[in-house]
Each structure stands twice: as C-alpha cells, then as structure tokens.
Structure 1
Amino acid sequence: MNHRTTTHRRRVLAGGAIALAAALTLAGCGDDSGPKAAKKPEIKVSGAFVPEPTMDDMAAGFLTLDNAGAADKLTSATSDIAGDVTLHSSKNGTMKEEKSFDVPADGELEFTRGGNHLMLEKLKRKPKQGEKVALTLHFQKSDPITIEVPVKEATYNPKQQGGSAHGSHKSH
C-alpha cells in the first residue's frame, strides 16, 4: 500500500468512528433511565365518598383524581357491593354514560355532585352511613387503585360543608 491509500483509509475509519459515536450519543437521548425520562402517571385519590343511597339498587360515588405525572385515562371502576359501576358525566342537567375519562397530565379529574360521577348499579346490599365501600379504579396506563370509600349522609356535599372537594380523606 502506498502512503496516499493508508492516509485515506485512516480518514475513512476516523470519520466512521466519529459518526458511530455521534449515533450512539443520540440514541442515548431516548434512554428512559436518565433524569429526562418520560414521566409516568402518578395518580392519587382524594375526597372520595358515597352518599347513603335513597334507592335499594343504585348509589353514586364522588372523588378527585390528582395526577402529578403524565396523562392517563380512567377506563372503568368496580366495587364489591355493586354488580356494575359505570362512569357518567352531567352537562346542562343531562346525564350521559361515558366509556372513559381523561386524567390530565399534572392536573386533576373531579367527580362531583352535578358533574362527573360514578354510578354503583345493581347493588348487592344497600350501604349505610358510617360504613366503607371498596372501590377499584382501572386506568389505561396505571395499575388499578383500590380505595375504601366512606358512606356519608345522603345530603353530604364537601363544598357545602365548609371544605373543598379534596377534604382530608387521602387514599392511595
């Protein structure tokens, strides 16, 4: 080999090594283990309650989902005392069953009287004030969250009780 061929080959190899190093560096930017890792949903439940039902076969559930992470979606709920739990929205006095609710990133989703709520249908027993009802929330991305929800008086409304919808009932 002559000097010109050897020099050319070294330049090609050096250029290839630089390109490879750059590609590996850029590939590392997508690594989920570093400080800039993609956020995951971080959902906590607060202010949950079920008003003592006036009907034998149906009750409502209210709560707030606080999300300190990425967006998620509440897809369903289940309860040990209900044959079915459905998701509902209320707008302009009209109640509508929903398939899911978005839980916004770094935000909250509220279930309140006159707004979004859970309907516990086909009750196996009528819960009484002072009891707790198990409720499991199912999400698109997050693991299910099971909470023990207190049964309050039928007219209970935390916003009218001098507190916020969040109350002091933190659950996990």
Structure 2
Amino acid sequence: MTRTRKAAAAAVTALSLALALTACGGEDGSGKSGDKKAKAGAPQLSVSGAYLPQPAMSDMAAGFLTVRNTGGAADELTSVTTPLSDDVTLHATEGTAMRHVATMKVPAGGRLTLASGGSHLMLGKLSHKPKVGEKVRFTLHFATSGPVEVDVPVKPATYRPKA
C-alpha cells in the first residue's frame, strides 16, 4: 500500500509540474502563444522596402517604407524616431494635397505604403546630411504593437524602387 501511495504522489507531482510548465510558456514551450485564435486577433507587423533618398538640403529629408500587417487586427503608426532627426513627422498625401497627420492606419491583412509622390515620413533638423551607402536606424512606434527597428539605407536622390 505504501508503494501505491508513493506512486500516486509521484504521478500527482509530475502532473502538477507539467501543468505549471504549460502555464508559463506557449504550447511549444517558446514563451510565445501557440494559440492561432490569439494570433489572428492581433496585428503581425513587418517592414520592407525602406529607403531614404540622399537629401538635396542639409536640414530636411524624406523616408519611405512599407508596413505589412498579416494579423487579424488593425494597428496605427503613431511616430518614428531616429538618431538622424528629433523632428520626424507623418505626412499623408491625398491627390495633390499633403498634410501632417498624427497617425497612419495599418489595416488588418493589409499594408501601409509610404512612397515617393505619396504619403511619407518627413525628417527635419537633421543631425547631419546622410550620404549614399549609409544606413540610418528608424524605430517605428505603433498604437498596439511594440516598436519595430529598421536600418534604412540611404539611396541616390534619383532612386526609384521597382514596383
């Protein structure tokens, strides 16, 4: 009878430990949730195509990039920070009119595209005039998601990415 009780106690202890470990991490033990429903309901952001044309002026530049959201919820770009400038603003272009905006929507299952001739980032009061080949660190801040850091290459002023 003693052996049976010891075996039962060991089984209960092992089960308790297994449940505690499962509660601490994701389903795969990575610390990330393996719950597909939770992922589907949250933004999943990535940044591509980022570049900064070499500015003609020493105090102002524009930045371009695409934020893709493969998640099931929308997010908003709220600001961008960079060591190159303490003055980065979001500019939306509608038709031929450009205006400063506080946020830019990143739709669920969609993308926010900042491109030459359209919506873009405006950097003022540059710390220095960046040169072609240099990389500039941008940190994108969002309403829901954590910050995303991107090393943005400086391209020639005439650079136009392929569609």
When normalised by structure 2's length, the TM-score is 0.75
Deviations 1:48-70 (A, max 9, x none): 00000001100000000010012
What is the identity, as a one-letter code, of the residue corresponding to 2:134? E
**Matched residue, 1:66:** 68
What is the identity, as a one-letter code, of the residue corresponding to 2:37? K
After TM superposition, the structure 1 = structure 2 runs for residues 2-151 of structure 1, keeping only pairs within 5 Å, are 34-37=35-38, 39-69=41-71, 70-151=73-154
* Alpha-carbon contact 1:74-1:100 (below 8 Å) kept: yes
Distance 2:101 2:153 in 1: 24
* Alpha-carbon contact 1:79-1:120 (below 8 Å) kept: no
Question: Cα distance, 1:92 vs. partner?
Answer: 2.3
Question: How many residues in Structure 1 have an aligned counterpart in Structure 2?
Answer: 129
Distance 1:115 1:131 in 2: 24
Question: Cα distance, 1:36 vs. partner?
Answer: 2.9
Q: Which runs of 5+ in 2 are unaligned?
A: 1-32
SS in 2 for 1:146: strand
SS in 2 for 1:36: helix
Distance 1:127 1:49 in 2: 12
Distance 1:78 1:112 in 2: 18
* Alpha-carbon contact 1:136-1:145 (below 8 Å) kept: yes
Distance 1:65 1:106 in 2: 11
Distance 2:111 2:102 in 1: 18
Q: Which runs of 5+ in 1 are unaligned?
A: 1-31, 165-172
Distance 2:67 2:118 in 1: 14
Distance 1:92 1:40, change over 3 A: same
4+ residue runs over 6 A deviation: none
Distance 1:34 1:91, change over 3 A: closer
Question: Cα distance, 1:95 vs. partner?
Answer: 1.4
Percent identity between the aligned chains? 53
Distance 2:118 2:146 in 1: 25
Larger radius of gyration: 1
**CA RMSD in angstroms, aligned pairs only:** 1.5
Distance 2:91 2:125 in 1: 16
Distance 1:42 1:125, change over 3 A: same
